[in-house]
Structure 1
Amino acid sequence: MRKFKSKKKIYQPDHKFKETLVTRFVNHLMKNGKKTLAYKIFYKSIDEIEKKKDNKKKSGIEIWKKALKNVMPHVEVRSRRIGGSNIQIPTQIKPYVKVTKAMKLLINCARKRNEKSMYKKLAEETLSASKKEGTAFKKRENIHKIAEANKAFSHFRF
């Protein structure tokens, strides 16, 4: 085999929610090694979600998990050169990579929003993603549409 299997990184749970998923998200949110700032942004956004939520029964962290689940893509397209032309081949995504892609989608779309501070941007994007709307959800739908359009090439799998 050309590539070696990478070892899965073991994450420590965060201090407030005792979730390893939160630690992974904060690592993606972090810039220039400023992890404490990334944690502050995340916790403030969860508090903001708590204030603005519609459903009184769900907590902020549950809404965030639902948003991650809604943004998670299940298939992706990969380019492969066959017979002198590049073909987009739809492939399934592994569960670990699904979560990573969902996190990155949510963070990148939140960064492009027009609110004042990052925690407000993240809170708004999370709330809209949990309702199955917003930019991150639209990007996920776009990925699925592209994969559906190229379904005819799925027999060329890697």
Structure 2
Amino acid sequence: MPRRAAAQVRSLEPDPLHRSRLVQQVINKVMLEGKKSSAEQIVYDALAILGERTGTEPVEALEASIKTLTPTLEVRSRRVGGATYQVPVEVPPRRARTLAVRWLVEFARQRREKTMAQRLANELLDAQSQQGGAYKRKDDIYRMAQANKAFAHYRW
């Protein structure tokens, strides 16, 4: 049993430009060394590129990309006797969205485009067309959960 209470979930303030909590979450994930203004500039530039290329509202395009990257199942390790099983479990909505944003930024950083805004925009576009590193990560995790479906009765 934990000795302390569970950490309080703090609500996220919407970003100043688009009034979107999702945009603010992406900004916070892009931010390095506390430089929020730089992160805001990167994300807003990426959204501008995304809106230009898709011809839709940038925040709607971002939400569509994040929805594509959001996992439904993941595997958790569970010890039974001497064996450790990878047990498939459903991902809670808050964790699913957090994972999607984390993967998006992680794989955008690994891309080879010149600026971070271009990398982020291209990763978002790839996600919409079900390509890219972040989508591949989601797909791999889903496949692993499907492969371990036999251990689903070990859920707790």
Report the TM range for the smaller structure's normalisation.
over 0.9
> Which residues of 2 match residues 45-60 of structure 1 at below 5 A?
45-53=46-54, 56=55, 58-60=56-58
Q: Tell me the TM-score normalised to structure 1 length.
A: 0.92
Q: How much does 1:50 deviate?
A: 2.2
How many positions carry a matched residue from both structures?
Answer: 155
For structure 1, which runs of at least 5 residues remain unmatched after alignment? none
Q: How much does 1:96 deviate?
A: 0.7
Per-residue CA distance 1:83-128 (angstroms, 9 max, x = gap):
2121101111111111100000111111111111111000000011
Per-residue CA distance 1:8-42 (angstroms, 9 max, x = gap):
21111111101112111211111111111110000
Amino acid at match of 1:126: L
The sequence identity of aligned pairs, in percent, is 34
* 1:144 to 2:142 alignment: yes
> Which residues of 2 match residues 8-157 of structure 1 at below 5 A?
8-53=9-54, 56=55, 58-157=56-155
Moved over 6 A (4+): none
For structure 2, which runs of at least 5 residues remain unmatched after alignment? none
Q: How much does 1:6 deviate?
A: 2.7
Contact 2:28-2:36 within 8 A present in 1 as well: yes
**For 1:128 and 1:60, how far apart are their aligned partners in 2?**
15
RMSD of aligned C-alpha atoms? Answer: 1.3
**For 1:124 and 1:5, how far apart are their aligned partners in 2?**
37
Q: Tell me the TM-score normalised to structure 2 length.
A: 0.94
